[in-house]
Structure 1
Amino acid sequence: MMKMINNILVWSTLLFLALLSCSSGDSASGSVPDNAQLNVVINAEVVGTTISMPNGNGSGLVKFNISPNNATSYKVVFGDGETIETTTGVFTHAYSSSGTKTYEVQVTAFNGLKYFSSTKSIMVFVATSQIWGDEFDVEGAPNSSKWGYDLGAGGWGNNEPQYYTNRTDNAIVQGGVLKIITKKENYQGSNYTSARLLTKGKFSFKYGKVEFRAKMPVGGGTWPALWMLGSNIDSTPWPACGEIDIMEHLGNQLNKIYGTLHYPGHSGGTADGATTMISNATSEFHIYTLDWRADSIKFYVDNQLFKTFANSASVPFNQNFFLIINCAIGGNFGGAIDSNFTSSTFEIDYVRVYN
């Protein structure tokens, strides 16, 4: 009888262990086993695809449908610097870099216990289109819906002697161009005046092509600039916000054009930049262009490339930036001011921003 009881106990124990083993892979709710697999498939439809336009109609829109679409969550890396996290497998994404480009899309799905990933290459055509601009074709003060002003003195960290105003004496649209006029005059305790216009709070963008057509002012000490700052500058002070100087010119270095990037570890005197020489910077209009992408930033004058920077997630050039046009005089970079200087005009024919 004792042997029979012992056998019953042994079999009962084995049965209990077997049942326990069968249920140990369940989730806390008992609904998702730990060996559950997801075969993630990325279905992508480029909007406007036809026989004649195999990579889409130029809108850059792509419709995604991830199967299975009942995962707990998805993380999607679109290959253009953009990433989303979502709880649905159906979504759209708009690519914005112009031209026909191939993107490597990666989707990671989470089923409640494990992560499963898949990748897919897609080719997308994005037509070039202008998303913002100013042709400076309305006489008078600059368009207040597009431009604001930085005001005041103090040199802005560069020991410059000018006072920036919002007067039409210093910034006015005349004859189809914006004129920023730098003057030698006593004003609010400063010996010079000028203007610094910016689109902060009115327009900003991330990636694209910026094109200025401009003619430089004349005079030793003048320091005109066409440039951009990170829109988060109020919460992330310079240089962490990033600065892109599309064009700088010094009256003391006639016809030498600077293209420069400022960011942590590379700012001020250690900034990452290059220069190129042109002719007639102060007597003729030239085109100054920035081509800004997730993987590169390129600087041009009259369509001639002179600086390429490898953009990446480790630098602050993957967020919205706003535009600035100004003319400083003297200071740490502008240098000595010509003793005969009385006034000079920086002329900008247009500003155009493309996707």
Structure 2
Amino acid sequence: MKRTLYGAALLLGAAAMMLPCEAPAQPRKEKAPKWKLVWKDDFKKDGFLDTAKWSKIPRGSSDWDNYMSSRDDLYEVKDGHLVLHGIVNDRRDLDTAQYLTGGVWTKDKFSVKYGKIEIRARLGEARGSWPAFWMLSQDEKYGRYPKNGEIDIMEHLNYDSVVYQTIHSHYTLNLKQDTPQRYTTVPIDREGYNTYGVEFHPDKVVFTLNGRPTLTYPKIETDLEGQFPFDQAYYLLLDMQLGGSWVGPVDPATLPVKMEIDWVKVWERK
């Protein structure tokens, strides 16, 4: 009898061990946002820069804009591309700048808040070349630069095999805070086209390259001022730049240089 009861207990214990265990709860995956295309330019009209969308960037005194020019030969729309040039100035009698560059922006014409931006382009290379795609605040909600932040979707230097994608703000520049991580470098196809992108969300900015995330900059809890000013509308800048303290001096023997932009697209969340 004892042996029979002992055997039954063993069978019950084995059966209990075979019962399925309740699986641990899995964290819910955040749903990917659904996007609606709201603005684009694919540069299909040869010889025509759509001035309802773009303006030529005027010259300024900073490293990035001190060679900007409205000269027509710096801007080409042909074969479905916008081509922006950087050249040695061959008419110093008309303009004293040593070099000339072309750049366009959507300032006062189009801006986006909480959206996705992508630009497909092929970058030229030269010693001192510094092509960039980036964004600035339209309405300057928080005051003077850099309090409204700057989003550098792509910056390329010289003959590098990588591009930089960077966040700038009062928090990063004036307060010199590097946490959260504010920039990354990403390898590119130097010979071909790449698609450079950024997504704006209420709680984060996400950089992308060829559709894949490369860096997420989140909004965090902090007592320091200006960590996440990206809750406002931003306009877009596309420009060929030459020379400066970061990229270094220009070698005129490596010019001219050009950047070919296939298309620009902007989506907003549905």
2:169·2:227 contact (CA, 8 Å) conserved in 1? no
What is the TM-score normalised by the length of structure 2? 0.77
Bigger Rg, structure 1 or 2: 1
Say which SS state the counterpart of residue 329 (structure 1) adopts.
Answer: coil
Show the 5 A alignment for 1:333-344: 333-344=246-257
Question: Quick one: higher RCO (CA 8 Å, sep 6+), 1 or 2?
Answer: 2
> Is 2:80 the counterpart of 1:163?
no
Moved over 4 A (4+): 268-271
Show the 5 A alignment for 1:123-202: 127-154=34-61, 156=62, 158=63, 162-185=66-89, 186=92, 188-202=95-109
Q: Which amino acid aligns with 1:197?
A: V
1:309 aligns with 217
1:162·1:191 contact (CA, 8 Å) conserved in 2? no
1:153·1:190 contact (CA, 8 Å) conserved in 2? no
- The 1:139/1:268 distance shift into structure 2, 3 A limit, reads farther
1:259 aligns with 165
State the Cα deviation string for residues 231-287 of structure 1 (Å, max 9, x = none).
1249822101211001111114x22111001100313995721111223x2x21111
* Structure 1 residue 204: Cα displacement: 0.7
1:286 aligns with 194
Tell me the distance in 2 between the aligned counterparts of 1:308 and 1:100. 16
* Structure 1 residue 127: Cα displacement: 4.1
1:296 aligns with 204
State the Cα deviation string for residues 289-338 of structure 1 (Å, max 9, x = none).
11211111111111232211003685210001001001110101221212
Tell me the distance in 1 between the aligned counterparts of 2:84 and 2:144. 27
Q: CA RMSD in A?
A: 2.4
* Structure 1 residue 151: Cα displacement: 1.3
Tell me the distance in 1 between the aligned counterparts of 2:65 and 2:134. 20
Mean CA deviation greater in 332-341 or 193-202: 332-341
2:263 aligns with 350
Bigger strand fraction: 1
What is the TM-score normalised by the length of structure 1? 0.59
Structure 2 unaligned runs (5+)?
1-29, 221-225
Show the 5 A alignment for 1:15-34: none
1:311·1:317 contact (CA, 8 Å) conserved in 2? no
State the aligned residue count: 227
Tell me the distance in 2 between the aligned counterparts of 1:222 and 1:267. 24
Identity over the aligned pairs, expressed in percent? 28
1:223·1:330 contact (CA, 8 Å) conserved in 2? yes
1:320 aligns with 233
